[in-house]
Each structure stands twice: as structure tokens, then as C-alpha cells.
Amino acid sequence: MIDEKYQKLIHILEEMKNVIVAFSGGVDSTFLLKVAVDVLGSENVLAVTADSETYPSSELKAAKQLASWIGAQHQVIETSELSIPGYAENDRNRCYFCKASLFEELIPIMEAKGFKNVVYGLIADDMSEHRPGVRAAKEKGVRGPLQEAELYKEEIRELSKSMNLSTWNKPSFACLSSRIAYGERITAEKLTKVDKSEAYIKSFGIRQVRVRTHGDIARIEVEPQDMAKMLIYNSEIVNALKKFGYQYISLDLAGYKSGSMNQVLV
């Protein structure tokens, strides 16, 4: 089944002939970029990474290294989600404003370079989640070849491993705004606070972490196997996060869950 899906992906890309890839350096966009370069050739593929306040600071360097390893053309653009009308208010459609703005940046690049398609790392798993960005993609004519090929995250990880992509077991990540409770205004200061906090916690060897922000409360999510480590270093973590601006620091006993902020939308 996975081989059939992979062949379907190849066929989709072949029909496109050339693509601009919205490239974050995560598991999905890295796999998409690698297959696109393999199928279409580097001259017919351009990876574009949007560097902004919501993009974790550690990810840009990694994205550049990955694009270079793959042999892809790579362009970094500067964007600011906080300047998008409606974004900072942080309602349930926040991701729509973000993706619509991103695609509005990518389409002129596509036209200037003589390309015909913009693609992004939408996957089959995403169709069962709250994803306002999917609507933005449809409105802008942007496609998700991985989703069209019905590829799921675990299948993408398996294929990535077979291609020797270092991202095959990379923890999932999302923009920093996803850490801030819906309805709470997003600011550059809050995003920096989240970024510093997560980087600090990862320095203890914790693989996956989210510092969910509810006002001045940090609700930390880690994988169950890392909870004991959190308790070992609790004093250091509490002191650091208070310096970063949180007043109360908590560990969520339910553990890490992708998109946990969306539970209030159900």
C-alpha cells in the first residue's frame, strides 16, 4: 500500500512539471522537497522558507542545511504574521490568515520564476483536524501532493528513513502561535518567551516539548517518558521560565498532544 501511495505521489508531481515548495524543514515538507527534486530535477523545484516571529529560531539553520543536502534551490523570505489583519487576535481561524498571507507571498515568486505550482506539506492526517489553512490553500490554488497521495505521517516517516532523511524521526513542530490559548492576543514578546522556554527545556535532552501559554501560566507538555526528567530538573526549569516572564509553571500530566489547544473548539 505504501509503495502504491509513493508511486501516486510521483505521478502527481510529474504532472505538475515544476513546483515552489513551502518549506519549513519539518518531516513532511522535507520529504515533499526531496521527492520533488528526485522526480523533477533541482532546476524545476524551488524551496521557499518564510522566516518570521512565529518560526522557531532553531529551525531556519536546519532548513538551510536540509535544502543544501537535498540539492534544492532555496530562498528565504522575511514575513510577519503579526502584521496580518486578524492574526494577532488569535481566534479559531488564525491559521487561515497565516496560510493565506504565506501563499500570497509565494505566488508572485512562482510567477516571477516561471513556475506553475505552489505546494505545501499537507498530509492525510490533517484532514481530520481543525485546519483553517486548508481553506486558504484551496482559495489560492495551492496543492498538497502528500495528502492527494493519501500519505499519513507514519508512512512519510518510513519513506523518509528509507531515503536517509535526517528528519524521519524529527519531532513534529508547529508555529509558535499554536502555543498561545485562543482568544489571547499574540505578541512578539509572548512568542519569544515560548521560544526561549522550549529551547531551554530541550537542553535537558527532552525530545518533544510544548510550552502552552495561558496568560502568565506555562502548561508544559512533554512525552510521558520525559516526565521524570522534568521533575529532576524542576527547580532549574521553574527558575528559567520565571525569568522569561511566566508566573506559574505547570506540567500537564496528560502529556504531549499535537494540537491540544484545539480541544476547546470541539
Between CA 1 and CA 183 the distance in angstroms is 42
Provide the 3-class DSSP secondary structure of residue 73.
Answer: strand
- Residue 63: closest CA among 162, 180, 170: 170
**What grid cell was written down for 243?**
525569568
**Cβ-based neighbour number of residue 157 at 10 Å:** 18
Q: What's phi and psi for 119, nearest 5 deg?
A: -130, 160
* Residue 202 CB burial class (10 angstroms; 0-12, 13-18, ≥19): middle
Between CA 56 and CA 193 the distance in angstroms is 11
**C-alpha torsion 97→102→105→109, nearest 10:** -150
Active-site residue identified among 110, 175, 209, 222: 175
State yes or no: is 95 an active-site residue: no
- Residue 65: closest CA among 33, 35, 17: 33
- Residue 202: closest CA among 93, 58, 106: 58
Provide the 3-class DSSP secondary structure of residue 71.
Answer: coil
Catalytic residues: 175
